[in-house]
């Protein structure tokens, strides 16, 4: 029973009941994806991206964003595991979907890809705000970079940006280095400073700024430099993953296929990095990578195998947990050397790095501190790109029982001697006193 509980906790943190619908803890990869479009033409103009997803086994369902029949859930059950919003200009979703529904969808542990664009609707901006990013308030603003633009047919158009300022994480972007820059044309956004979960995956270069390219720049642009995020991700506390970008066209077949040459650079790449970048990041978004689970949390006294209901102070104990990583098809052992265990009561009394056997088993042993109270075994493993593991198991630590102390202390022998000699002396004295006459 306890084990089952721990497995659930391990893989999906606190919001268990909501998450059960999202993916089974055993196969966390999403399956059913709803794609909302402004226009069915996007199906063909972005077919490379969609085909890449389909070929990985996703079940895509294309709907117009204002289709009155669309719904995310029926009878309280979510119909999809993920949602792709390729509808930057939608003013109002059809059916029962609204911002709150999308937020609930995410808060129930489902994944979301949002692509905005120039002239993004307020609705999409609102979704972005809920996810912790703020698109440039000027609806016609674009990211302009007079230095880092991509060389293209139209001279003077610096709104097509070639960016290669990636986040440094193999988990998110895959092990293979993305050689070619990413083509981007669209609206920039800033990550909200109040939000600690949102990350810039692709940032603009320091020379970029966000403004309307058609009008003269009269006031300083609100967003400049590398504060501009081109692609951002969020991993929510319930491990739902979100991707927000200001460019729908970066997913398009045209950008996927086109070559790219960054201004002032001699290297011309045959193919832009878009396909590799967006495919790899979609693997991350749809939990094909970087998803951890912890199972078989065990703790017991040294020399025993059963898990006790509570420990005694100064007990020696062993703690072990198995951590696996989802590779898209199977659970592989997770190898790391920085998984730490806390023995925690308001503050960590013991903090130990768990040693790994490279097969997924992490273990350690330590002595319970000389303090009684309700402790917790806590593993808080939060690593960039990985789902956050937070295991906590409450375990009371009791003081010694009255008969667990040492009974005959050598230092007390003088006292024992004194007590017994006193008794004997008293007896002899009384005897002598009473019968000596």
Partner 1 sequence: MSNSSTSDLLKPFKLKTKQQELLIRVSILCLVYILAFITRLFSVLRYESMIHEFDPYFNYRTTLYLTQHGFYDFWNWFDYESWYPLGRIVGGTLYPGLMVTAALIYRLLHFLRFAVHIREVCVLTAPFFASNTTLVAYFFGKEIWDSGAGLVAAILIAVCPGYISRSVAGSYDNEGVAIFALLFTFYLFVKAVNKGSLAWGLASAFGYFYMVSAWGGYVFIINLIPLYVLVLLITGRYSMRLYVAYNCMYILGMLLAMQIRFVGFQHVQSGEHMAAMGVFFLMQVFYFLDWVKHMLSDTKLFQEFLSITVTCAVAAGGIALGVGAASGYISPWTGRFYSLLDPTYAKDHIPIIASVSEHQPTAWSSFMFDFHILLFLFPAGLYFCFKRLSDATIFIVMYGLTSMYFAGVMVRLILVATPAVCLISAIAVSATVKNLTVLLRSKNKVAQIGSTKGTSSAKASSKASLDQSQPFQKNGAMALLFGAFYLLSRYATHCTWVTSEAYSSPSIVLAARGAHGNRVIFDDYREAYFWLRQNTPPDAKVMSWWDYGYQITAMGNRTVIVDNNTWNNTHIATVGRAMSSYEDEAYEIIRSLDVDYVLVVFGGVTGYSSDDINKFLWMVRIGGGVFPVIKEPDYLVNGEYRVDKGAAPKMLNCLMYKLSYYRFGEMMPEYGKPPGYDRARGVEIGNKDIKLEHLEEAFTTSNWIVRIYKVKPPNNRW
Can you give the binding site for partner 1, defined by CB under 8 A? 14-15, 103, 106-107, 130-132, 194-197, 234, 236-238, 240, 242, 310, 345-346, 372-375, 394, 396, 398-399, 401-402
| Nearest alpha carbon to residue 188 among 226, 142, 222, 224 | 142
**Least distance to partner 1, CB of residue 398, Å:** 4
- Asked if 340 and 379 count as a contact pair (C-beta separation under 8 A), the reply is yes
Whole-number Cα distances in Å, 7 to 40, 168, 256, 385, 392: 42, 30, 41, 21, 11
Kindly state the tokens that stand for 184. Answer: 């981007």
| Nearest alpha carbon to residue 285 among 232, 213, 217 | 232
**Least distance to partner 1, CB of residue 61, Å:** 25
**Least distance to partner 1, CB of residue 8, Å:** 14
Pairwise CA distance, residues 134 & 132, whole Å: 7
> In degrees rounded to 5, what are phi and psi of residue 291?
-110, 120
Kindly state the tokens that stand for 25. Answer: 């803890």
**Least distance to partner 1, CB of residue 212, Å:** 30
In 3-state terms, the chain is what percent helix, strand and coil (to 5)? 25, 35, 45
**Least distance to partner 1, CB of residue 308, Å:** 13
Identity of the residue, 98 or 107, whose beta carbon is nearer to partner 1 in the bound complex: 107
Four-CA torsion 113, 118, 122, 126, nearest 10 degrees: 40
**Least distance to partner 1, CB of residue 396, Å:** 4
- Asked if 255 and 242 count as a contact pair (C-beta separation under 8 A), the reply is no
Q: Which of helix, strand or coil describes residue 12?
A: helix
Beta strand 361-367 with 316-326 is antiparallel
Identity of the residue, 14 or 335, whose beta carbon is nearer to partner 1 in the bound complex: 14
Identity of the residue, 108 or 274, whose beta carbon is nearer to partner 1 in the bound complex: 108
**Least distance to partner 1, CB of residue 392, Å:** 9
- Asked if 150 and 162 count as a contact pair (C-beta separation under 8 A), the reply is yes
**Least distance to partner 1, CB of residue 45, Å:** 31
- Asked if 290 and 387 count as a contact pair (C-beta separation under 8 A), the reply is yes
């Amino acid at each position: 029973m306890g084990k089952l509980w721990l497995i659930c906790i391990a893989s999906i943190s606190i919001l268990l009941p909501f998450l059960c619908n999202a993916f089974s803890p055993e196969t966390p990869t999403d399956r059913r994806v709803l794609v909302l479009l402004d226009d069915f033409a996007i199906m063909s103009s972005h077919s490379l991206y969609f085909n890449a997803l389909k070929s990985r086994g996703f079940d895509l369902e294309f709907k117009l964003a204002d289709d009155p029949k669309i719904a995310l859930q029926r009878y309280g059950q979510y119909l999809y595991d993920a949602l792709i919003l390729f509808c930057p200009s939608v003013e109002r979703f059809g059916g029962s979907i609204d911002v709150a529904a999308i937020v609930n969808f995410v808060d129930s542990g489902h994944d979301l890809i949002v692509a905005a664009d120039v002239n993004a609707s307020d609705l999409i901006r609102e979704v972005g705000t809920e996810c912790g990013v703020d698109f440039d308030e000027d609806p016609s603003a674009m990211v302009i970079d007079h230095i880092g633009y991509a060389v293209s047919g139209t001279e003077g158009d610096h709104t097509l940006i070639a960016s290669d300022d990636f986040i440094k994480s193999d988990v998110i972007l895959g092990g293979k280095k993305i050689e070619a820059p990413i083509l981007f044309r669209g609206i920039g956004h800033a990550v909200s400073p109040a939000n600690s979960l949102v990350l810039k995956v692709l940032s603009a270069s320091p020379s970029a700024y966000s403004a309307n390219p058609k009008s003269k720049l009269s006031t300083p642009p609100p967003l400049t430099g590398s504060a501009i995020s081109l692609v951002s991700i969020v991993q929510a506390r319930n491990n739902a993953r979100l991707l927000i970008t200001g460019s729908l066209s970066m997913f398009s077949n045209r950008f996927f296929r086109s070559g790219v040459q960054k201004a002032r650079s001699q290297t011309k790449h045959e193919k832009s990095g878009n396909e590799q970048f967006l495919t790899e990041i979609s693997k991350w978004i749809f939990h094909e990578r970087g998803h951890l689970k912890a199972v078989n949390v065990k703790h017991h006294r040294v020399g025993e195998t059963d898990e006790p209901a509570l420990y005694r102070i100064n007990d020696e104990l062993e703690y072990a947990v198995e951590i696996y990583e989802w590779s898209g098809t199977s659970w592989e052992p997770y190898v790391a050397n920085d998984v730490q265990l806390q023995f925690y009561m308001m503050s960590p009394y013991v903090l130990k790095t768990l040693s790994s056997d490279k097969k997924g088993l992490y273990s350690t042993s330590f002595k319970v501190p000389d303090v009684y109270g309700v402790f917790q075994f806590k593993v808080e493993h939060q690593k960039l790109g990985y789902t956050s593991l937070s295991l906590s198991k409450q375990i009371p630590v009791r003081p010694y029982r009255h008969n667990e102390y040492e009974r005959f202390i050598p230092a007390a022998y003088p006292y024992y001697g004194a007590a017994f000699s006193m008794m004997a002396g008293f007896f002899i004295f009384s005897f002598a006193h009473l019968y000596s006459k």
